[in-house]
Every structure is written in structure tokens, then in C-alpha cells.
Structure 1
């Protein structure tokens, strides 16, 4: 992130040692309306030429558009020029799954799915609609859309080697029906001769709530997802710092849990580990704002909050709930106050 934005900082006498990772909904905007404090905050984050004076990245659970479209929306709403390189969508981590980029993958979700998939590096994406056209008999749920005359294309689809879930589909039943068929036929939909006893086609799902990408201060607005994820990432950064610069891949080989040399597939699969490790932040501090779903006036005692949160925890099944991870490092009224707080804590004066 620093290298892609470094040209914006050349006029500063002291380069910043921190950056901002902004949630969008509830922090910067409500729907399509910018929160007034956001415009004030961003006037402090850019110089007179409209260049950012500190690294700024935007994160969102949205996955139904391209990064450029989201960047254009934010530029218009906030009144500052924002590039697509500053936007992290829910599907952005899929760029790192290069092992599947040259394979045929089935994509499900909303928006311009093929454009999104190709922008991420997938060379052979096909949609649920294409699968329906090729195998109309597979869609036995949606009777209203079933064609009167079944005339599937003569062209055969290549083997589907992964399913990519970009987000919630418009028609859940149809999508699930076809995805399940792909899984149960090992990537040969509609062909019972390829049925296996268990599915082994990988499913790549997008989820920003626990995505481990962050830089320094993180204004967020949700205890159970945003704050929990930021604090969890901070823990990972601290553990990585204690272990030194050795990457997970290097440790795997050196520790004797793998072969002396990695196979080509392993190198492709694990390349993102090295990519993230080379530009990892030292800390990720969570700053909770009160303009989103969080309401400080309905605060409950910590023990009660932890009990409630544990019953509704939506984290990955491999993570156990920890009450301490829902506690933000700071709580401020809005994003403008968050920027002021971080500048004060970092003793940073851009002008």
C-alpha cells in the first residue's frame, strides 16, 4: 500500500509511519448519503492538490461491482480523488488464489460477475445463467423460468474446478441447486457418471468481516465484525513480529512439516503468504465510531455483552469467540474525531 501511494507524499517533510483503513457504511456514508463528518475528515487527509497526506484504504463487504466503480462512487461522495488501488472489496482476496485463475470456475452472486471475475484474474469464469442454458434440466426448482422447449447448447463446458461465491445470489434456490450438482459430480454438472461419494470441488467464498488486511489505525463501526476482525488481525501482526520475518512457508519447510522443496502448486498456493508478509503493518488499532450500528447510549456491562455476543458470533468455525476482541482501542463520536485522535496519537501535522 505504501509503495502505490508514495508519490502523494513526496512534498511532505516527514513521511507518515501510519495509515488509515476505513470501513465505509456507517463510517463514511449512510446508503448513498455521505456523513457530514466524513467530508470534514477527508479535507484533513489531502493537501491543496488533492493528494493524500497519509496512506488511506477503503474496505467494504460489498462485492457486486468492480473496484473502479466503488472508487468513483467514493470520489463523488467524499469530494476527493480515490483510485481503485485504494479500495478493498469482499472479493479482493481472491486475487491471491492464482492456482485457480487459469481454470474453469463457476461464479455466483450479483452484479457484473464475469467482469469482476476477469478483473481478479480468472480466465475461464462461467455464471449460473450459462450453466442453466447448457443444462436446463438441472434447474428443477424455478418452474416459472423453465423453458417450454429444452434445447441445450451442443457445446460442452469444460470441467468446473472451483466454485466462487461473490455474495448473495438473486435466486437462492436455483443457485444452490446448480452449485450442489457441480459439487456432487466433481465438476461435471448433469453427468451422473462422475458422481462421487463426497464433493471435493473447492468453494472460494468472499467474507470481509475477518479479512486479514489492515494498516495501522482502523475506524470501524461494528463490534462483532469490524472491531473483532481488526483486533484479531492486530494479534496476528504481533505474533508475526515475535516470530521474526520468516514466512509461514519458510517455517513449514524449516520445521520439517513439509518437503525440502515446495511443488509448483504449493508455491502458487502459498505465494500470497510471502506477498502479505513483505508489506505487513506492525499494528492494527481499532477505532470505533458512533455513526453506524453502534449506539453508546445502549451500552451493556462487559460480562453481559460478552454473553450476548458469544451466542450470535458469526466468525469462522475455526475461531473461538473471545470477549476481549470486541473491545475497541478507542471510541469516538465520528470519523472526523477519529482522524483528529490518530493525528494526535501519532504526533502528526501534515502542514
Structure 2
């Protein structure tokens, strides 16, 4: 029964089209139009926005989001910097999410671009009836997709399995975080091991904090800059989120990758890393995904991805007892997925701000960017 729950994670990006264009959502390319006047400042950074807990709480917009986007859109309805929405939410169609964001933020978004169908068992979002779905997925896995047969728990190759959302919790209208798809995966993994005695294996883990998500987000940011004919390269990314275990972990993980990518292109930096570690294994091989996407864009790659944590979602600074916020973060219980290693440095944000409006102000100040 291949193709069970055939969904794919959404990477949402608002375009710079005129307000009269139909709202939509992008899943591959950005499709921006228009050129940039030489009289306007050209940004050298892009923004990656989480949605739930940063821009909205359930169906309710966070007031700071409107304030923030007033600074990001000019009088012609165009974004003054490249913007991409990176979300693990899978509770509605991309088109629906695009319409919601357009209405809430008061800016247009571009049409949906279909993504290739994935021929595998894909777990995308937490279901409503957990018991029923857990039973069905276990049936599919233990029969290799043949539901007409009985369970085979020994010496049976596992069907390919992909998981597209690892959030243990997420923030809606309720005062406390809600169970996310990561919690559903914890249940599935433990049930599978209890029955078979073996660990559930994933063909791939996608979505935040997976590096693949940030690879694609960077590609979309660079696409926007190219299609706007901005001459200055986008060298910095800023990831704004409310969840330490996905938004901040993922951004810092990708920043670590970017630093290593820069080092690979600098023989002196490579030699220094080898000297410090005594091995070349500290320098990873060039990713195939890099060569694929970079070959399509004749633009320099980003060199950093900086994390910015907001306090309007999952992260609640008032719930921590010690006064040192960084200490609290390092001592926190790891809510990340089983297959990700807990590294305190990866859940420490580059900046902590109250809301997304403060985040945009901070980034503009850091970049010395004054929109016109």
C-alpha cells in the first residue's frame, strides 16, 4: 500500500507581485517579478519565518506580525527583502495556508507550484484519531503494504518510511503547547519496537530541523534575489521561530553546515580544521543537493544562518526559574526527534526577542538596512 498519506512538507513563500494578483503558495520556485531600482537599498540577507507561534496562534494573528510586515513591504506591494515561510504545519493545503497568510498579513502570495509525488509511506501531520492511524500504519509496515496478509515481525524488510514533521509540540490558541506530529512519531516508534523488537527506520526525516529544509529555503531566497535582478549577493539568512527544538536547532545546524561549506572552499581553513582534529572527516563532502541547486543559480551561496527566538509561541521565558536565559536553554529537556543528537549549542538562539516585530527591527539594525 505504497503512497499512504502522500503529503510533502510545505515551504511557503510570499511573492512581490502586485496586490491584484491572485494569492497562492509556492512549493518549489518563488516566481517574483519586477526589477529593483538602483535608488533603493539592496539587501544582502533573507528572512525565514516560522508561522505558528511567530505570525499566528491558531487562526488568530499575533499583533506584532502585522507591524513587522508593514516594514517588509513597500508602497508598491513588494517585499524589500527576500522572504520565505518555513513551516512544519500540515493541517491544511498549501493554497489554504497561502490565502490565510495573505489575509492576515495584508500582502499577496504567488500561485501553488506542484511538487513531485513521493512513492513511499509518508507521515506528514498528526491525525485526529491517533489509535486508528497508529493501527493502520503498523499494519502497512508489518505486511509490507499487503493488508490482505498477516503481520510478519521477523526477517521482513521494512517498507520505506519518510517523516515530514518532527515537532513534539506546537502553539495554537491554548495557553500551553499542543501535541505535535513528533509526539505521534514517539508513539509509533515505541509501538513498532514493542511488537517487533527492532527500531523503526526512516528513509528520510524532512522538515525542520532537517538541513534539507534549509537548503531549499536558501534556494528560494536566492531565486527571489535573482528574479528581482538584485546585484548584491544574499550572504546572510535569519531564521525566526518560537521553538528551540525545531526552529533554533535547525537554523543553528544549518549555520554549522554553512561554516563548513565555507571552510571547504578555503584551503587554509580546511588545513586548520584538519590540524585541530587530526582527521579530514571533520570536513564533510560536498552535498549533491548543493551542486544541483547552485548550478541553477549563478549566485554566491549564503555564508551564515542566524537564529532569532521569539517569546510568543512554544518558548516561554516566564516558565523558567533561573534568571539566566541561556543557562535555562542549555539545561532544558531535549524534545527533538530520536535520531537527532542533543547538542546544547544547537538550541541556543543567536538572539531572543519579544515578538516578530522586534525581530525585524533587530535584523534591520544588524544589517544596517534602511528600507525606502
- Band the TM-score falls in, shorter-chain normalisation: 0.5 to 0.7
Distance 1:8 1:336 in 2: 27
Matched, 1:40 2:67: yes
* Matched residue, 1:70: 97
Distance 1:277 1:241 in 2: 14
* Matched residue, 2:258: 237
Does the Cα contact within 8 Å between 2:311 and 2:354 map onto a contact in 1? yes
Post-superposition CA distance 1:231-256 (Å, at most 9, x none): 111111111221239xxxxxxxxxxx
Tell me the matched-pair count: 255
Distance 2:84 2:91 in 1: 19
Matched, 1:28 2:27: no
Matched, 1:344 2:365: yes
TM-score by length of 1: 0.64
Unaligned 5+ runs, structure 1: 87-118, 124-160, 246-269
Secondary structure of 1:120's aligned partner: coil
Deviation at residue 85 of structure 1 after TM alignment: 6.4
Secondary structure of 1:45's aligned partner: coil
**What are the equivalent positions in structure 2 for 1:160-309 lying under 5 Å apart?**
162-192=120-150, 197-207=155-165, 208-212=207-211, 213=214, 214-215=217-218, 216-244=237-265, 272=289, 274-276=291-293, 280-299=301-320, 300=322, 301=324, 302-303=326-327, 305-307=329-331, 309=332
Deviation at residue 339 of structure 1 after TM alignment: 0.9
Distance 2:128 2:288 in 1: 34
Q: If you compute each CA radius of gyration, which structure gives the higher value, 1 or 2?
A: 1
Distance 1:223 1:285 in 2: 13
Residues 85 and 229 from structure 1, CA distance in 2 versus in 1: closer, same or farther, beyond 3 angstroms?
farther
Distance 1:163 1:70 in 2: 24
Unaligned 5+ runs, structure 2: 1-12, 16-28, 166-206, 219-236, 267-286
Distance 1:180 1:298 in 2: 37
Cα RMSD for the two superposed structures: 3.0
Post-superposition CA distance 1:248-290 (Å, at most 9, x none): xxxxxxxxxxxxxxxxxxxxxx964544555653211011122
* Matched residue, 1:93: none
Post-superposition CA distance 1:73-129 (Å, at most 9, x none): 00001111123569xxxxxxxxxxxxxxxxxxxxxxxxxxxxxxxx43228xxxxxx
Does the Cα contact within 8 Å between 1:231 and 1:284 map onto a contact in 2? yes
1:7 to 33, 36, 41: 33
Does the Cα contact within 8 Å between 2:329 and 2:348 map onto a contact in 1? no
Residues 273 and 180 from structure 1, CA distance in 2 versus in 1: closer, same or farther, beyond 3 angstroms?
farther
Bigger drift between 225-234 and 71-80 goes to: 225-234
Secondary structure of 2:71's aligned partner: helix
* Matched residue, 1:331: 352
Secondary structure of 2:365's aligned partner: helix
* Matched residue, 1:55: 82
- Higher helix proportion: 1
Does the Cα contact within 8 Å between 1:20 and 1:217 map onto a contact in 2? yes
Does the Cα contact within 8 Å between 1:290 and 1:296 map onto a contact in 2? yes
* Matched residue, 2:340: 319
Distance 2:122 2:315 in 1: 32
Distance 1:337 1:180 in 2: 45
Does the Cα contact within 8 Å between 2:311 and 2:317 map onto a contact in 1? yes
Distance 1:193 1:333 in 2: 51
* Matched residue, 2:110: 83
Residues 193 and 328 from structure 1, CA distance in 2 versus in 1: closer, same or farther, beyond 3 angstroms?
closer
Deviation at residue 17 of structure 1 after TM alignment: 1.3
